[in-house]
Amino acid sequence: MFVTGEAGVGKTSLLRRFCAEQHDAPRLVWGACDPLFTPRPLGPLVDVAEATGGELLHVVDEGAKPQAVAAALIRELAVRGPTVLVLEDLQWADEATLDVIALLGRKIETVPALAVLTYRDDELDRRHPLRIVLGGFARARALRRVDLTPLSRDALARLAEPRGIDADELYRRTGGNPFFATEVLAAGDAEVPATVREAVLARAASLSPQAEALLEAVAVAPPHVPLWLLEALTEDDLDGDRLPKKLQPHRRKLFGLTIDPVRLQQIRTERKPGSRYATLEQCKKEVALAEEMFRIERLPALSTTHTSIEEIASKVLAQFGIQKHMF
């Protein structure tokens, strides 16, 4: 069985509950991969072997080849009573572990065991070696897949109610991700807690520069940004001092916002201390390019450094002659 879903969606929680509810007492063995730069060889299988002991522990301790480890694992599963074997977070598996799992996949139907493999499907690119391994399981007749999705608005409402927190706001902030939601609820105030900030930044740290630029554009745009706008915001020609091509047809609706580079540096330092992105030099360069573009393209513009969001809104409305309706 595969259990998939983004980080924090509840894979581990679901499996803990599932294992706790097994009353006819199969043997439960659990192994997990860790997010290491140099994954420990056979990492999750070391956990499993420590639980089973016997021949499997012996071959793993010896650092045997994947074939020998897989054979020992299959024998271990064959001779003992029914087993639930959970292997978690395979997006971080080392190559030896992946080979063992591939070999197990071919024999899983011959042993009295349920193998539950979890991974973050949104973190596997097309060439991730785990994909090949999973492909091997696809032939197993008994294969099941559980793709976990974030919590619904109703589920969030049930979590938020005892704390008197607005469920719609919680949904807007967390998208229903249970990890984000429970951390925000535990913090008990409107601020995004440090735990969530750390978790998000840790994931952003491994992105390519292009993916990071896209993430930054999405982060400042409202939910459901139209694709053409994202393309315009992330195209390389944003580096130039002319308006990106995709924005040109909309130029009569554009309004430039700029900021004092020192203030921008403060904001970026809070977000990503010590990064190139947060250096004063980088901030000055980007602000100068943007201001040059506003000037050349004759866009109306405004500095946001000492301006409240209400003042910005009313100046933009006045510029375009839009009527303000008060409800």
d(CA 75, CA 57): 12
Stretch that binds ligand ADP, among 3-11, 105-113, 234-242, 285-293 (CB under 6 A): 3-11
CB of 195: closest distance to ligand ADP in angstroms?
A: 10
**Is 8 a residue that touches ligand ADP (CB under 6 A)?**
yes
Q: Which residue has the tokens 């995004």?
A: 192
Using CB positions, name the residue nearest to ligand ADP. 10
CB of 12: closest distance to Mg ion in angstroms?
A: 3
**CA angle (13 as vertex; 11, 15 as ends), nearest 5:** 70
**Is 44 a residue that touches ligand ADP (CB under 6 A)?**
no
Residue number with CB closer to ligand ADP (11 or 268):
11
Answer for the pair 327, 289: CB distance below 8 angstroms, yes or no. Answer: no
From the list Mg ion, ligand ADP, none, partner contacted by residue 179 (C-beta under 5 to 8 A by kind): ligand ADP
Residue number with CB closer to ligand ADP (10 or 43):
10
Answer for the pair 32, 87: CB distance below 8 angstroms, yes or no. Answer: yes
From the list Mg ion, ligand ADP, none, partner contacted by residue 182 (C-beta under 5 to 8 A by kind): ligand ADP
Q: Which residue in the set 1, 12, 243, 288 belongs to the binding site for Mg ion (CB under 5 A)?
A: 12
Give the closest residue to 94 by CA, choosing from 129, 126, 49, 124.
Answer: 129
**Is 13 a residue that touches Mg ion (CB under 5 A)?**
no
**Is 12 a residue that touches ligand ADP (CB under 6 A)?**
yes
**Is 7 a residue that touches ligand ADP (CB under 6 A)?**
yes
d(CA 303, CA 149): 41
161-220 binders of Mg ion (CB under 5 A): none
d(CA 134, CA 299): 53
Residue number with CB closer to ligand ADP (134 or 232):
134
**Is 182 a residue that touches ligand ADP (CB under 6 A)?**
yes
d(CA 46, CA 40): 9
From the list ligand ADP, Mg ion, none, partner contacted by residue 44 (C-beta under 5 to 8 A by kind): none
Q: Which residue in the set 44, 66, 105, 178 belongs to the binding site for ligand ADP (CB under 6 A)?
A: 178
Q: What are phi and psi of 190, to 5 degrees?
A: -75, -20
Stretch that binds Mg ion, among 5-13, 107-115, 172-180, 293-301 (CB under 5 A): 5-13
Q: In sequence order, what are the residues at sequence separation of 6 or more whose Cβ sits closer than 8 angstroms to the Cβ of residue 16?
A: none
Q: What are phi and psi of 188, to 5 degrees?
A: 70, 5
Give the closest residue to 6 by CA, choosing from 144, 184, 236, 180.
Answer: 180
CB of 13: closest distance to Mg ion in angstroms?
A: 8
Q: Is 4 helix (H, G, I), strand (E, B) or coil?
A: strand
The pair of structure tokens assigned to 287 is 């602000």
The pair of structure tokens assigned to 60 is 């793993």
Tally of CA atoms within 13 A in the half-sphere of 140 that contains its CB: 23
**Is 179 a residue that touches ligand ADP (CB under 6 A)?**
yes
Q: By rule CB under 6 A, what string of x and - marks binding of each residue 145-174 to ligand ADP?
A: --------------x---------------
d(CA 116, CA 98): 14
**Is 5 a residue that touches ligand ADP (CB under 6 A)?**
yes
Residue number with CB closer to ligand ADP (97 or 234):
97
Q: Is 27 helix (H, G, I), strand (E, B) or coil?
A: strand
CB of 16: closest distance to ligand ADP in angstroms?
A: 8
Residues lying near Mg ion in the complex (CB under 5 A) are found at 11-12
Residues lying near ligand ADP in the complex (CB under 6 A) are found at 5, 7-13, 159, 178-179, 182
